[in-house]
Each structure stands twice: as C-alpha cells, then as structure tokens.
Amino acid sequence: MASTTPEALEAEIAQQTAIFNELRLNPEKAETLGSLDDVKKSLGDLKKRLALAKNAGKEKKPKDKDGAQAQAQDATKKERLMLKTAKGTRDYSPAEMFCREHVERIVKDVFTSFGGSCLDTPVFERKDVLTDKYGEDSKLIFDLKDQGGEELALRYDHTVPLARYLAMQGGNNTHSKLWQIGKVYRRDNPVMSKGRMREFSQADFDISGVWDPMVPDAEILSLICTILSKLDVGEFTIKLNNRKILDGIFEVCGVPAEKIRAISSAVDKLDKSPWSEVKREMTEDKGLDPAVADKIGEYVKHKGGPELLEKLLADSTLTANQSAKEGLGEMEILFRLLKVYQVVDKISFDLSLARGLDYYTGIIYEAIVAASAPPGFNSANAFAAAPTTEPAQAPTSKPKSAPKKLGDEEPEVDESQVGVGSIAAGGRYDHLVSAFLAGAAGVKLGSKEAKKIPSIPCVGISIGLDRIFALVWPKWVERGARAKETMVYVMSAGDGLLDERIGLVRDLRAAGVKADFLAKNKPKLAAQFAAGEKDEVPFAVILGGDELRQGLVTVKEQRWELVDGKKAKIESTDKGTQVKRSELVEWLKKTPTWQEWVSQKWS
Amino acid sequence: MASTTPEALEAEIAQQTAIFNELRLNPEKAETLGSLDDVKKSLGDLKKRLALAKNAGKEKKPKDKDGAQAQAQDATKKERLMLKTAKGTRDYSPAEMFCREHVERIVKDVFTSFGGSCLDTPVFERKDVLTDKYGEDSKLIFDLKDQGGEELALRYDHTVPLARYLAMQGGNNTHSKLWQIGKVYRRDNPVMSKGRMREFSQADFDISGVWDPMVPDAEILSLICTILSKLDVGEFTIKLNNRKILDGIFEVCGVPAEKIRAISSAVDKLDKSPWSEVKREMTEDKGLDPAVADKIGEYVKHKGGPELLEKLLADSTLTANQSAKEGLGEMEILFRLLKVYQVVDKISFDLSLARGLDYYTGIIYEAIVAASAPPGFNSANAFAAAPTTEPAQAPTSKPKSAPKKLGDEEPEVDESQVGVGSIAAGGRYDHLVSAFLAGAAGVKLGSKEAKKIPSIPCVGISIGLDRIFALVWPKWVERGARAKETMVYVMSAGDGLLDERIGLVRDLRAAGVKADFLAKNKPKLAAQFAAGEKDEVPFAVILGGDELRQGLVTVKEQRWELVDGKKAKIESTDKGTQVKRSELVEWLKKTPTWQEWVSQKWS
C-alpha cells in the first residue's frame, strides 16, 4: 500500500535516502538493495508525492490554525536538520575501521623497518606556508574563516608541512627518514566509492639530506614495493620516469622553454586519454607545432625496463642534451640498485609519466594496480587507436549525462567510469625546503642573495590509504572478517549474578584477556549468547551459582563459517568444559583457538 | 662581540626566537638554555638594535639605488615568510611521537579490552550539527571559510559527532561501545607547555543504549582507572558527582529555576577559585541571595567516599527532593558496582564538581593528578581561607602582568601559574542523540510531536592525550628513552660494499628485522658507527670483503646508559662475533638483547 500522509512519505524518503547513501559507498550492494538508478527514481517519485500531499494538507487544514501558527510550522520544517557528513567526507564504521587499522598497521611496520621515525604536524597551517606550492590546484585548498588572528588553511598534503618542519630545524637534522600518517584536504569533486574524497588519509615516507646518488630513491621504491606486496591489493606496477629526461625530450623535440610545463601537464594525461586527444590539447589548446607534437609522441609512447634505458642511451640526439644525459645517468645507477633490492620486475620505466606537481626535480613514480584503472580504458592501448580514429568508449572527464541535482547532493559523477587511480605516488623534490629557508630569509631562491641557503634535497612517497581501503574492503566483506577483538563473553546461566560476572570480567581484563558481558541485572542466557555471537567472540564463559561455589566455570568455544556470504555459527554438541575459575586465564591461553587469534589470523 | 649589521642581527634574532619557542614548549630546559625572561629581554634588545641598524643603512645607502629599488626591497622584507606553525598548534618531533604512540597504544589496548570498536568521523562537520551544543563556548568553534557549498566547522569534541553518527544509524546499532582517537579544535587561549592547545588529541570511549542502571557508568569509571594506572602519570583521583543531586541541592537551597545553570557554572569554578570568590560571583554577578549562597556552600564543600553518600541519604531535606533522591539512588548502585570493579579508592565523591557542558544529565566525573593542579592552589583548601580572607597566592584567570606583545606571538599567559587541569572528563548525556533525531524530524525534543523519537542514552569519557603527554614526556626525557625501533645497522669495514650492504638490509627487513645503513657509496666505518649510535641501534653488523666470501659477517652488540642526563654508549672491548650470514636472523633473534627489545622494554 502506497503511503499518503506527509509523515509516512517523509519516513519513506528518509529510508530511501539511507539506502541511496549506502549504495553510493558500496555499489556492490546493488544486488540486495537494488540499483542506484532505481533508488534515485523512487526518491524522486516520493518527493513529488510529498509536495502534493503537503499542498493537499494546506488546503484542508487552513481553518485548524491561524496564519501565525501555520507560518511557525513552516519555519520549523525549514530548520529541519540534515543528518549527514559534509560533502566528500564520510564516517568509517567499526567494521571498516578494523580493516583500516589493519592496513595502517602494515604500513607503519614497514615504515619503521626502513628506519623511519614518526612526525606529526598540525591539520591546518598558516596560509602563506601553502601558497605557491601547488600550481593551479591551489584553488582546491580549504581555507579557514577569518575569525581574527592568522590566515589559516587545511593542509593539502604532508609534503609541504614536512618541508616547513625541516626548514624550521634550520641546519640541524637535515638527514632524516620521516613518516607521517594523517588526513589531508582538497575541495575536489568526490567519487566516494573509489576512495576519492575531500578528506582523505595519506601515509607519507620521506628521506631528506645529501646522500650518494639514487640510494634514497631506491630505498623509497623498495619501501613501496614491500608495502604493496603485503597489502591485499593484487598485482601492482610502479610507473617510473625522470623529470630531467622528460625535460630533455621536450628540449630535443623543440618545445619552446616557456611551454615545457604546459606540455608536460598534457603528457601527464596519457593515463586517462588517448594520444590523439593529448596531441589535440598540445596543438590546438597550447599552440604547439604539430610536427613537434609528433616527435614527442614518438618518445613518450615508450615503456619498459632496463632495455628501454639502453635504447635511450644509444640515442645520440637525446644524450647530447645536458638534462636528458643527467637523467639517463641517474636511471642507470637506479636500475643497478633496484636489481639489488630485487624489485626491477615491478618497475615500468614509462616516458609518458609526468606527474602534476611543479616541485619535482628528479625521478617521479606512481603505483597502480589492475583494479585501479577506469573500465574500458587500457593505457597500454593509448597509442593503438591514434592518431586517426577516436575510440568510442574512451571516457572523458565529463560525465555522460549532464549533472543533475538530487536534493542538495553533489552533482553526479558516473562512478562506474572512474578508476581508483594511482594508489601511491611521489618523487624527488630538491628545492622545496630551500624555498622555505629562502622565503624566511626574505630572498629569492636562485638569486645571488640565496647562495648561502643550505640545500636539503628530499625524495618521498604518499600512499593513498582511502584508495587502498576501497580495494581491500570488498575482499574483507567477502571473507566475512571479524570487526572486534573481544575474546571472552561472560554470561550467567541462572540468577543474574551481575557482581560475579563483573568480577570475572575485571579479572580477565586485568590479565590481558579482552572480555565483555551484557550490562543487565538478570539477562536471559539466550540474550547473552546472542550478544556474544554478534561480536563473534570465540569463548563463552558461563557462570552458575552452584558451580561458582565450587570455584568452577563452564567454557564453550564458538566457531563461525561463511554460509552464502553470511557468517553463521557452527552449532556444536559441545556442552562446554568445566574449568577452575582460578585457572581460567591459563586454560584459555593454552587453547588452539587462542593461539590462532593472537597470531593475528583475524587480521 | 656584538653584531652590528642587519643581516647578523637577523640571524641572531632567528636563533633567539628558536630558543624562545623551545623554552615555551620545554620550560625545564631553562637550566641549559637560560630563563624565558632573559631570552625575551635579549630578543627585545636585538629587535631595537635591528631597527636602528636598518635606519642607519637607509641613511647611508640612498645613493646606491633609486627609489623604486629601495621600495622593492622593502616589499621583499615585508613578504618575509614566518616559519612557524599556527597559534596554539605544534609539530611533534620523532622522539615526542615515539612517546605519544606509546601512550596511544596503551589507551587503545584498554579500549579494546573493554569491548570497544573504533569509529572515525570527519575532522569537519556541517556547521548546524555543532550549533547549540556547547553553550557559551560555541564562540570557540573554528569555522571554515565559505568557498561555496555547505557551511562547515572543525569538530569541537568527539561527543557531538558520535551522537550525530548514532542518530544517522536511526533505530539500528543503538547498543554500542565505540572509541575514537583524533584531533579536535578550540579557538581558546593556548598554554602550550601544559598541553592546552587549539589543536589537541582526545581519546573518547562511549557506551550507548538502554542498559540496567549504572552498569555502563561503572564500566566507564573502571576503564579510566585502568588506563591511568597503566600510564606513567602518578597518583590520580576521579572526582565524581551527579547532576541530579546537584540540581536537587540547588532546589533545596532555594535557587530560582532559571538561575540553576548559571549557579552550577559558578560552582564549577571551585577547583580554581576559593569559595569566597565563587560566592561573590553568585551574589554580585548573578544576583543570588547571600543566605542561599551560604546554604549551597555548606553542601558543596563536602567530598569523600561512600560514607558521604550515607550522610546525604540521612539528610531528609535533601531526600525529600525528587531529583536529589533519584541521583542518590543512582550513586548507591554505582558505589556497589565500583566496589566490585575494585576502584572505590580512586573515587572522590565531590559535590563541588559541576562540569561546564549543558548536555550532561546524570553522573559527571573528572580525572586529576597531583601534578595537574596549578601551583600555590590546593583545592582541598578552597574553603579553608573562606569566607573572610582572600589567600594572597590564589591565581586568578588573569595573568599577573598585563599582556604584552612579542612580535606576532600570542598575548602571554604566566604559564607557571597554570596547571595541566583535568586529564580526562565526561559524564552521562541521555538526550543528545534524541536531539539530533528530533532535529532531523523537524520537531522539538520534549514536545508532543517528539514522543515517537527513540531514546538513545549515552555515557562516555574524553581523555586529553596532549595533557597526558605533557605529564609523561619529561619522565621519558629523564629516562633517556629511545626514539627509534631500528634493531640492526649494517656497515662495511672496507671498500664501500654498497650493493652487499643493501642486499643484507633487504634480507633482514624481509625477515622482519628492522634494519638500516648509511646511504653512501664508500662511507668511513666511524661515520657508519656514528649514524647507528645516533639511533641507539642495539646491533652493528659489519661486512668485510674477505669475510663475506666465506659467508661470514661480524656482529657487535651495543648498549647505552644515562650519564649526567645524557645517553652514552658503554664502550666494550668486545671485538664482535663472527656469524654465518645465512644464520644471522636466527642468531639475532636468540640474543638476550633482542628478547629485551621485543618484549617492549624500550616502551
């Protein structure tokens, strides 16, 4: 029966909105919840019917109330609170956090394995610290309101605050390996289901200081390969290039000096667009001679391993260029070191990789996994269709349908056409710390006055934890992973025994056993089992008055298995084991179940 | 020799500013760095001399440049970047983070021991979610700039976002034990050395849902006692009261209903001010009859344990009041449960505790440690000097000297007169989640329309991690605690052996051994030892060409001790042990040193 009263319709709208939000975050739930399109349509219908019902109500009820009252009610309706998180942000539920904590634990463990120490900087910075660091992306910075005092903005990444921190250390501690894990902020268009958020977590690792060539660079590449191998993200590739080689190629091909950064940013789009489109941007939008563009196209289509390096080293036009020569020399050393680190097979030397940020000065890299590419686009084929035919399925940055508005939801993006993108990226930035030092001294980097400014070169990587979560979480759901660490649920068979239950829980916790109980005076045994089962607790400990007086408790082990995608308790005929209360902790810790759980089988 | 050129003076000012900042954060360093006052004075002098020197320069140099150039230079000077964090925020260095991570690990472990699951909410919320939640403290909320879209603000605590999250779950998951750890934001006057910041970390634990009376409340009090016992904060006390009793007292004493919250907030100041001052506020500022104030004074001076409860239960005037009777009944149950939890000795039933926030509806509590009180004020004596004499040393909220400005530093607070304050606090808030649900339904809580809104009562606690850090950190410094987890430093005795060092480091890391090396091609052995010693690495592994060809490496164990407050390596005559490279991991893990470190002796 279709609802007709405004109240009933509002309740239904609230319910459908909840489903809509759930589907946006977890598109895979469409099987049980219905498709996003259907839910949207149903929401639209409901809202129309609500508007009609309200008008009908107004026509019917005018005599029940005077005008003032009716207006007051309208005002109340307008003030209705939107129960939601800000656009591009989300809550992470306990089950999701259990997965995220697992990911973070692995990342931190590798960070410290590689000699890293933790740094923490504030979530907001003085605005001038962020100014002139991000090129045209500066428009994405979240500013704080001027409430008197300093101009402030939310941090955009960890790299710039790290450089500010290193600059504040002055000449000290210039040799460092620092890691940071925390949230950063960008006013970008969010695609929530792919982990593209306005608030997102990045894990950074950076090495600063003057070392011998390419040794820290190789450490960082070994680090990211180690982390991605340990996380359940599937096969991955590290795309690798060098700004010095890229700049050399542009010079050799005849790109005018003032156009190099603009052409570089066009090349950077080759992971999302075919060559024909990139060439069009270079020539039509950026005024490059088509013959020059074609020469660039010949170079940037190359990708491979050390054999590509050999080929480029044999290219005498290229090696005659100072910048390219330097870059190729660096790559030779790097590939030798990567062999020692046993990660060469993970590396794809890719001349089309350019990276957006201006501050990179040497090698640059991006980690991608098969699952992270947008569907219908295979970057290996970017050149296959060029230059004469435009592939019909190539996604563009525009959504296929014009943006519509649903309530005050954000304009829609066709999420099925968006990939997770790179899950980690970084490079060498040799001048960022010096730029801060020069700024503080009031001189311009590169000027005569700045020659006493110390050089603190850096190389680092940022790992996108939300994108990794977007890849790992569906597998957790599939495996039916647990979301709590509680090991024991203490219950009473008979007369409530609240004090006795609390007493045992207290003793267990004091002995390092994570334990819980139902906070009721006289709960039924079935309710207590149900509560313990909700948490998938492996041990149920049952207290009975008579037993307790003999110093005994009953322990039942509980196991779960996945049945049709849902966790189900394996019913056993086990009536439980009587154990001395005084020996319970020792007994529990000796069971195979305990050993299994503490060896982190659950994570 | 005193500097005279502007450049030299600026360098000196930069140096003194660094010392000034260091002293603000670590007042105990005054012994080595000199007193804060001296540094301030020296900075003032330097700035005067710089102004003079610059004027002198201008007089001398006008003919060197034309006007435009001079102006350009002035503009450059003005744009000089301030290398600092925003007011009330700070970086945490690696050594400090090592200590903070240790604190967090303990807190999280207890949270999960008590059956908690982790929740994460965004750092900013839609502004209307925070509106009307914090009373007059709402002025301290950090707003984001309106850049188009929603009105946003940084979260002020974890409690309101948690309530918003629970409300968004609707009728589901109302029974929960959730913990959150993260940063919250208040535009308050910071006192950095005492952990009073504008950005600070709170660890919250909250239990939601309808349970039997006082069981969740007792769980929370057991939780905070467990955590504080495990942290190195010294002796602590939990001040405990109940809003229902306090409101009953006010009613019984004759406080008019509309003045109850204002009088309650005056009582809340008894931990910082003597009774005489609180009475003055009640009568002069808030217009209370002095006779009523004196009656309140008689009640709120009481503190104690279960015996105080007995005394109040025997007070027939009080028990005739409905609210007081309810509150006293709750306290009877609570004290019984706290005995079972074995924490009664930590509790001080304190009728002067009122807590600032409006949303508390039942028990309220604050954890304090001896070290957290401001000097010269013993709250036990608040009544001793009252009502006729004002104790001379009682600190007021105003600094003793009028605020001065130093550059663009914040106005000074006399930090020696400020205590750390409470290190954890909370209470029961039974209507906050319902208020969100009512707001979303467009009805007013308490109205007839709101009677279908479900009730989701909560009780919780917030732990101030920065304040705990401010107490724990000096002890870490004193003990000379380590700041890194690296176990092995791999070195070469002879010919560089970079590839061999990297190869061994790679193998060690892959086997779970945290290892590092010096990123140089041919470093001197002394430089490698120095680098390893900086990290206090327990094992030095030395490679030599001849040895390596025989499959051997040399291991030297290293130990440190505190000498005059500084870590010093214990020089040993040990020439090291030759170990097979293939058996190195196994060998390391069997040493007593390894066992010591992995058993977290270092934390």
Ordered by start, the domain boundaries in chain B are 6-78, 88-233+430-481, 235-391+416-422, 488-598
The residue written with tokens 């000034």 in the block is B20
Given a cut of 50, is residue B407 above it in pLDDT? no
User: B340 and A100: CB-CB below 8 Å?
Assistant: no
ipTM for the predicted complex comes to 0.84
Q: In angstroms, rounded to a whole number, what is the distance separating the alpha carbons of residues B217 and B223?
A: 10
User: How far is B323 from B243, CA to CA, in rounded Å?
Assistant: 9
Contacts of A144 in chain B (CB under 8 A): 142-145, 154
The answer on pLDDT for B563 being more than 70 is yes
- CA angle A459–A465–A203, rounded 5-degree value: 35
Separation of alpha carbons A317 and A434, rounded Å = 33
B117:A98 CB<8 A: yes
| pLDDT above 50 for A408 | no
**From the CA of B273, how many Å to the nearest CA of chain A?**
30
Q: What is the CATH number of domain A235-399+414-422?
A: 3.30.930.10
Q: What is the pLDDT of residues A468-478, one digit of tens each?
A: 999 999 998 88
Average pLDDT over residues A290-314: 95
Task: Please give the biggest Cα pair distance in chain A.
Answer: 94
Q: B451-465, pLDDT tens digit by residue?
A: 888 889 999 999 999
CB spacing of A144 vs B145 below 8 angstroms: yes
What span, in angstroms and rounded, lies between the C-alpha atoms of B410 and B84?
13
Per-residue pLDDT tens over the stretch B114-125:
999 999 999 999
Kindly report, residue by residue over A527-555, the tens digit of the pLDDT: 999 999 988 999 999 999 999 999 999 99
Lowest mean pLDDT among A85-89, B39-43, B284-288: B39-43
- For B7, nearest residue in chain A (alpha carbons): A441
- Give the per-residue SS3 of A256-275: CHHHHHHHHHHHHHHHCCCH
Helices (H), A169-242: 215-230
Options 3.30.930.10, 3.20.80.10, 1.10.1380.10, 2.40.50.1070; which CATH number does A88-233+434-480 get? 3.30.930.10
Query: Both tokens of residue A458?
Result: 């850096």
What's the pLDDT tens digit per position in B2-38?
556 666 676 677 667 767 766 766 666 676 677 777 7
CA distance B16 to chain A (A): 13
The number of C-beta contacts closer than 8 angstroms across A and B is: 259
Among A86, A340, A484, beta carbon nearest to B152: A86
Contact flag B122-A199 (C-beta cutoff 8 Å): yes
Question: What gap in Å lies between CA A152 and CA A144, rounded to an integer?
Answer: 5
The closest alpha carbon to B386, from B282, B304, B310, B238, belongs to B282
What pLDDT, in 10s, does the model give residues A476-485? 888 887 888 9
What are the C-alpha distances in Å from B212 to residues A516, A530, B81, B221, B423?
15, 18, 59, 16, 28
Chain B closest CA to A103's CA: distance in Å? Answer: 14
Asked whether A393 and A417 are in contact (CB, 8 A), the reply is no
Q: What share of chain A is helix, strand, coil (3-state, %, to 5)?
A: 50, 15, 35
pLDDT band at B444 (very low <50, low <70, confident <90, very high): confident
Domain A488-598 has CATH 3.40.50.800: yes
**How far apart are alpha carbons A414 and A224 in whole angstroms?**
31
Helix (H), strand (E), coil (C) string for A115-145: CCEECECCCEEEHHHHCCCCHHHHHHCCEEC
Nearest CA in chain B to A511: B113
Q: How far apart are CA B344 and CA B334, in angstroms?
A: 10
Distance CA A275, CA A280 (A): 8
The mean pLDDT of chain B is: 84
* Closest chain B residue to A21, measured at CA: B168
Counting residues of chain A whose pLDDT is more than 90, the rounded percentage is 59
* Residue A41 binned pLDDT confidence (cut-offs 50, 70, 90): confident
Fold for the domain defined by B235-391+416-422 = BirA Bifunctional Protein; domain 2 (3.30.930)
Instruction: Determine whether the interchain pair A80/B440 forms a contact, defined as Cβ–Cβ distance below 8 Å.
Output: yes
For the domain made up of B88-233+430-481, the CATH class stated in words is alpha beta
Return the pLDDT at B513: 96
- Residue B574, pLDDT score: 73
| Chain B residues close to A521, C-beta within 8 Å | 212, 215
- A51-65, A72-86, B188-202: least confident range: A51-65
Give B226 to chain A, closest Cα distance, Å.
8
pLDDT value at residue B394: 35
Residue of B nearest to A85 (CA): B125
pLDDT at B315: 95
At A288 the pLDDT is 96
Q: How many CB atoms lie within 10 A of CB B212?
A: 15
Contact list, B602 vs chain A (CB under 8 Å)? none
Distance (Å, whole) CA A359 – CA A156:
14
Q: Do domains A235-399+414-422 and A488-598 have the same CATH topology?
A: no
Local structure of B413: helix, strand or coil: coil
Query: Rounded to an integer, what distance in angstroms lies between the CA atom of residue A8 and that of residue B21?
Result: 61
Instruction: Report CB contact under 8 Å: B87, A150.
Output: yes
Chain B nearest CA to A437, separation (Å): 8
pLDDT in tens, A163-184: 999 999 876 667 899 999 999 9
Q: Distance of alpha carbon A482 from its chain centroid, rounded?
A: 21
For A578-601, what is the mean pLDDT? 88
Which pLDDT belongs to residue A409? 43
* Range A1-35 burial, b when 16+ CB lie within 10 A, else e: eebeebeebbebbeebbbbbbebbeebeeeeebee
The answer to whether the Cβ–Cβ distance between A143 and B144 falls below 8 Å is yes
Which has the higher per-residue pLDDT, A444 or A376?
A: A444
Give the Cβ contact number of residue A68 at 10 Å: 8
First to last CA, chain A: 46
Contacts of A117 in chain B (CB under 8 A): 94-95, 97-98, 483-484
Question: Which residues pair with residue A154 across a beta bridge?
Answer: A124
CB spacing of B509 vs A341 below 8 angstroms: no
Give B218's contacts in chain A (Cβ within 8 Å). 502
Spell out which residues of chain A touch residue B100, defining contact as CB-CB under 8 Å. Answer: 120
Cis peptide before B538 (omega within 30 of 0): no
Per-residue pLDDT tens digits for B286-298: 999 999 999 999 9
Chain A residues closer than 8 Å to B514 by CB: 112-113, 115
Residue of B nearest to A523 (CA): B212
| pLDDT more than 70, % of chain B | 80
- Residues A335-346, mean pLDDT to the nearest whole number: 97
Q: Name the band, by pLDDT with cuts 50, 70 and 90, for residue A487.
A: very high
Percentage above 70 pLDDT, chain A: 81
Q: Give the pLDDT score at B332.
A: 97
Between A452 and A516, the higher pLDDT residue: A516
Name the residue with tokens 């190789």. Answer: A218
pLDDT tens string A380-399: 455 554 333 333 333 334 33
pTM for the full model? 0.84
**Strand, helix or coil for residue A240:** strand
Helices (H) and strands (E) in chain A, counts: 22, 18
Which of A5, A10, A85 has the highest number of chain B CBs within 10 A, making it the mutation to test binding with B?
A85
Contact B569, B516 (CB under 8 A): no
Average pLDDT, chain A: 84
The answer to whether B192 and B176 are in contact (CB under 8 A) is no
| CA–CA min distance A198, chain B (Å) | 10
